[in-house]
Amino acid sequence: MFNNGIVNYENYNHVEKNLKNVLNLANSSGASKAVEEEIYYNTAKNVGRSLNVTDYNSLAEKIMALGIGQIVMTNMSDNKIVFRLYDCFTCSDMENIGKPVCYFEAGILAGAVSTISNQDMDAIEVRCNALGDDYCEFEITPAKGNKKNFQAVGDDEKPDINMLYLTINSLKLAKSKNQIQSQSQRSSRANKQLNDALENALEADNFNQNIIDSIPNYLAVIDSSGMVVRINKKYEEFLSLAFQKDTSIISLAWETKYTEVLATGKPAIWQQIISGKEHIIFESPILESQAVLRQVIPVESDFIKLLLDKISDLEERIDSNKKASQQQLKLKDDRVVVASDVMISQVNYIRKVAKTDASILIRGESGTGKTLFAEVVHQESPRRHKPFIYIDCTTIPKNFFETELFGYTPGAFTGASRNGKAGKLEMAQGGTVFLDEIAEIPIEIQSKLLRFLQEKKFEKMGAVKTQQVDTRVIAATSQNLEAMIRDGLFRKDLYYRLNVINIVLPPLRQRRDEIPVLAAKILSQISEESKTGLKRIDASGLQALMGYDWPGNIRELENLLKRLTFLVDDGVITSQAIMMELHTAATLNGGVGGAASEIRENERELIIRVLENCNYNKSAAAEKLGITRQTLYNKIKKYQIS
């Protein structure tokens, strides 16, 4: 009961003890403005549910479009999804303050993932720039309590949210930002006083009603039977009545969700018109004592204007980020997917070196995307409006390298065109030539290429006159050039001239974080090219993909998804379908195991026989032998097979 501001501690011991815990959220130095944060979180969660995202790829695009940052899924299991957020809207420019602060972003992710998974989910921030990290990390897990199917926000709910935003925005002009911050500071000081008073009350068996009266929001405590056991003066004035003990919420005609809050242990937030004005109702549980803290916040309040500032800043960031992303898309190949730390760092490096004219050597296993990133270098360079010419050195006969690269004059050799021919280096004037698998260039041609790299000069076959062209050279290899130098198969001086800038592309097994995004991108491309319905991969299927080592890297992933697109009848690719296809591929490779043993015993004869059966189609022969085309070329050269 109440008596001149003193509470009968015996009757309200549990309520008062646990009310302190809730009010501490709004007052303690370790978690200041936590009630405010809960409102941000729940409001953002409703917004996240309204985004209408259908998969994690569209979620990443939506988050980027909103200007919130760049998300990467780093882990997915039945019970938890982990996202990293780079360039976080809230904290990217913050110093280490010792606590996570991105409850707004957490709410957006929780709401969106709830829609995708059809299950109510919650987000916890475990890493943050405000904790001294370089990125934010959120763990998304099923919401506690009774698990049930989760329904996305319906059309009938959206107008209320839109009305709230419209109302909030119309009130932004009421006060300046400095006035809002000043009021916020005064409220914070009052909350600190309240916290101190609560601590003293538990020790001295009293509670200072004057302190709770200083809280700027309308505040009340409802016990488990629906009785109001505490109310502050501001709320009494708003209700225009003198508070009587044991007043029922029914007699007060309050719209409340206290039973739901007590049952789930989760706060509730909604909008309500009271006395003709818009208010936000926020009810949060006081654990153990089975009570609920109720706050009623007028939309016209300074607190809501702080929320308005957050939304307005977000809108400004959306506009600026859209413009920035549009500028980047003009320079960026839309086939490139970057979603891992190692590749984000690599792409930033590529963008920097692309602006120079230095020669570049790209290294990496077969299928890692060397050709694609050579094109990225060209598109990011000042030469992007000039030709990009691709040369596959594995397909050029030894005697034709010189004419392919440098061209020839009329009559240079028997059968030469009477008009002569321009070489690829000349055809790429002002642009870029990409020499894929440069290790295949004969050593006698390497010296002529070295001179071109040094002086930008060369002579066509059969010519006397020296030509000069301005062409940049990018080379790539999956071979061990250092070993080839030791064996006398590659010129050391050419190696150093090419290796001015070295880009090493990691295999897919070292960037598993990218597999979900890569898979979604590949499936989208397959759908567009084949004019078929878009397939998606379920959670267990993504786990199967991320658990595989991918010896063929991205190319192997592409081929697998192409096969599955046409083999799977429904719209979802499951882990069973993926594992069956991977097992089939492993069985076929195992069937080649006998051939591999035979290769070791009598490789030359076997290779000749397979080449004959394939009409000397080297790609088909390599596939039958179970080796890469580059390996086949090396063996043909090793055994001098003509």
Per domain, the residue ranges of the chain are 2-10+178-305, 15-159, 341-506, 521-638
CA-closest candidate to residue 268, choices 52, 433, 95, 45: 45
**Mean pLDDT lowest for which of 34-38, 286-290, 385-389?**
34-38
Higher pLDDT, 314 or 577: 577
The SS3 of residue 33 is coil
Confidence at 333, pLDDT banded by 50, 70, 90: low
CA 525, 526, 531 angle in degrees (round to 5)?
105
Confidence at 202, pLDDT banded by 50, 70, 90: very low
CA 22 to chain centre: 35
Q: How many residues does the chain have?
A: 642
User: Any idea which architecture 341-506 has in CATH?
Assistant: 3-Layer(aba) Sandwich (3.40)
pLDDT at 38 over 70: yes
- Say how far apart CA 508 and CA 23 lie, in whole Å: 50
The predicted structure's pLDDT at residue 295: 85
The SS3 of residue 625 is helix
For residue 604, the tally of other CB atoms under 10 A from its CB is 14
CA-closest candidate to residue 265, choices 446, 425, 129, 120: 120
Query: DSSP E strands: which ranges in 410-569?
Result: 421-422, 432-436, 457-458, 467-468, 472-477, 501-504, 536-537
Quote the percentage of the chain above a pLDDT of 90: 22
CATH of segment(s) 15-159:
3.30.1380.20
Higher pLDDT, 449 or 309: 449
The predicted structure's pLDDT at residue 122: 92
The predicted structure's pLDDT at residue 152: 46
The predicted structure's pLDDT at residue 376: 92
Interhelix angle 553-567/575-613, nearest 10 degrees: 110
Report in angstroms the alpha-carbon separations of 526 from 227, 298, 553, 577, 578. 61, 52, 18, 18, 17
Q: For 283, list phi and psi in degrees, rounded to 5.
A: -120, 125
Rounded to an integer, the average pLDDT of 618-622 is 81
Rounded to an integer, the average pLDDT of 632-636 is 81
The SS3 of residue 160 is helix
> Which CATH topology does 521-638 take?
Helicase, Ruva Protein; domain 3 (1.10.8)
CB-CB contact of 360 with 500 (8 Å): yes
0.75 exceeded by pTM:
no
CB-CB contact of 509 with 503 (8 Å): no
Rounded to an integer, the average pLDDT of 375-402 is 91
Rounded to an integer, the average pLDDT of 176-199 is 49
CB-CB contact of 2 with 209 (8 Å): yes
- Which one is the CATH code of 2-10+178-305: 1.10.8.10, 3.40.50.300, 3.30.450.20, 3.40.190.10? 3.30.450.20
The predicted structure's pLDDT at residue 474: 95
Residues 6+ apart with CB under 8 A from 600: none
Rounded to an integer, the average pLDDT of 171-178 is 34
Rounded to an integer, the average pLDDT of 36-51 is 77
Confidence at 51, pLDDT banded by 50, 70, 90: confident
